[in-house]
Amino acid sequence: MTDSSHENVPSRQRTRFPGISSRAYEHPADRSALVALRKLSGFDTVFKALSGLLPERSLRLLFLSDSVRVSDAQFSHLNDMLRDACYILDLEKVPPMYVSQNPQPNAMCIGLDEPIIVVTTGLVELLDEEEMRAVVGHEVGHALSGHAVYRTILLFLTNLALKVAWIPLGNVAIMAIVTALREWFRKSELSADRAGLLVGQDLKASMRGLMKIAGGNHLHEMNVDAFLAQADEYEKGGDLRDSVLKILNVLPRTHPFTTVRAAELKKWSETRDYQRIMDGHYPRRDEDKDTSVTDSFRESASHYAETVRTSKDPLMKLVGDIAGGAGDLGGKLRDKFTGGGSGGPAKGGPEGSGRPQDPEEGPGTAGG
């Protein structure tokens, strides 16, 4: 049965990007986090050791034996999406793709020598065709960017950390690398979301997919504008205590919070960079060898500076004030951390009417 709402979807008239480099869609924070990860003490040693030890052949056999491989004969609609995504992003070798029985909606791109894409039944059942197309493009973006290798190591080390938790020093060393990998991977998800948009070329479908991942298959109960308003409230709400809680909440996660991903993707879709890619002006793979590492690092630094300057988060505002040489820094820090006024103490000394509430006088606000 044909769904009339999909008669003129972008899948029938999408732009292709021959020779596109992953640099075209990679988030600056993705590149800088990866640079920081590679500079982490001990990472190179661990990476080289694990590259030879990880059971990649076993991993492939596991999915081959206990999942359903996507093909013309099985999940053919996913196979069409996969080939289409590789065609649009000009990924010459189509990665094997498997559907794994798991009610939790999820997808991943793993592998050392060659990437493998895995999607769960929970995700396949949750998303419609165009939403799923964005997810497949997201995973193909991971493959094109070479993210699969680091994702595989993250999965292995996370599992290893649980097994050696009783070894104090060993666990500390592993968790340092796991934490750095998670920080990078959260940023890489922002890059892959952009790749998903380039493949699906339907922002509404990308937004719907993220909303469903957050709230389930109840689109009639959800609203994109209200969902994005949550991201704005999350960013600017509370005081420094909430900013710290946000950091603590995100540390164990491999993915950014869904509302944040939606806001970031919408913001990028409105930029000149995105429009230039759609117009055919983008970095190409054959130019990658001539790319300046210094320029990439400078771009990442510029991104972070702009993020600090424009952020509504209390902690980021404080960082901006410090960088700008704001006066009365001690009073500003005290006021922001305790939820008091934005200014310093009232005239007449610290016991004046402008004294902020003591942190112990009332409960803090939980961060989202």
Would you say 91 and 285 are in contact if contact means Cβ atoms under 8 Å apart?
no
pLDDT of residue 3: 44
Q: Across the strands, what pairs with 116?
A: 110
Would you say 235 and 243 are in contact if contact means Cβ atoms under 8 Å apart?
no
* Residue 281 vs residues 22, 88, 137, 277: alpha-carbon distances, Å: 13, 15, 20, 5
Q: Which helix (H) or strand (E) holds 69?
A: strand 68-69
Quote the CA–CA distance of 202 and 156 in Å, as a whole number: 34
Average pLDDT score, the chain: 73
As annotated, the active-site residues are 139
Residue of 156 and 349 predicted with greater confidence: 156
Residue of 113 and 312 predicted with greater confidence: 113
- Is the pLDDT assigned to residue 79 strictly greater than 70? yes
pLDDT of residue 345: 44
* Residue-wise pLDDT tens digits, 211-262: 999 899 888 999 989 988 888 877 765 554 444 554 545 455 555 678 889 9
* Residue-wise pLDDT tens digits, 315-345: 444 444 444 544 454 554 455 445 555 444 4
* Residue-wise pLDDT tens digits, 175-219: 667 777 777 778 889 999 999 999 999 999 999 999 999 899 888
Residue of 277 and 62 predicted with greater confidence: 277
pLDDT of residue 300: 54
Contacts of 368 (CB under 8 A, 6+ apart): 234, 237, 242, 246, 249, 257
- Is the pLDDT assigned to residue 150 strictly greater than 70? yes
Most confident among 7-11, 74-78, 336-340 (mean pLDDT):
74-78
Express as a percent the part of the chain with pLDDT over 70: 56
* Residue-wise pLDDT tens digits, 266-298: 999 999 999 999 999 999 998 877 655 555 555
Span of 47-56, 110-119, 320-329 with lowest mean pLDDT: 320-329
- Is the pLDDT assigned to residue 356 strictly greater than 90? no
pLDDT of residue 50: 60
Angle at 27 between CA 161 and CA 100, to 5 degrees: 50
pLDDT of residue 153: 75
- Is the pLDDT assigned to residue 264 strictly greater than 80? yes
- Is the pLDDT assigned to residue 81 strictly greater than 60? yes
Quote the CA–CA distance of 197 and 266 in Å, as a whole number: 10
- Is the pLDDT assigned to residue 113 strictly greater than 70? yes
Across the range 298-323, mean pLDDT stands at: 49
pLDDT of residue 348: 44
Burial class (CB in 10 A: 0-12, 13-18, 19+), 304: middle
